[in-house]
Amino acid sequence: MKAEDIRFMWLMVFFDLPVKSKEQRRGATRFRNFLRDDGFMMLQYSVYARICRGQDAVEKHTKRVRLQLPKEGSVRTLQITDKQYGRMELMLGLAPKTERVGASQMVLL
């Protein structure tokens, strides 16, 4: 496969996890730490994103997320193209230093 045939994709993870008990807080923390250690960056407290090089990498990291799911809560994933991600508009607040949002910019972590 040629380099120009590789399509960069973003894998986004959205979650809402219960944190009322000590065990639930530990589970939520473990899940967030897993995402960070697997190369995801935090966009918002319960929204993480990771750049992937092609569909195979998206599937690999989706499977890894599935294996780390906490016991309860809600977790969703969404894959979008790099071009779609670049059209994201930050309306309020500041983007983390590791994130560059723009049509002609891409983050490689």
Q: Which residues are annotated as a binding site for Mg(2+)?
A: 16
Cβ neighbours around 100 below 10 Å, total: 12
Detail the residues annotated as belonging to a binding site.
Answer: 16
Cβ neighbours around 50 below 10 Å, total: 20
Radius of gyration of the chain (CA): 15
The rounded distance, in Å, linking the Cα atoms of 38 and 67 is 12
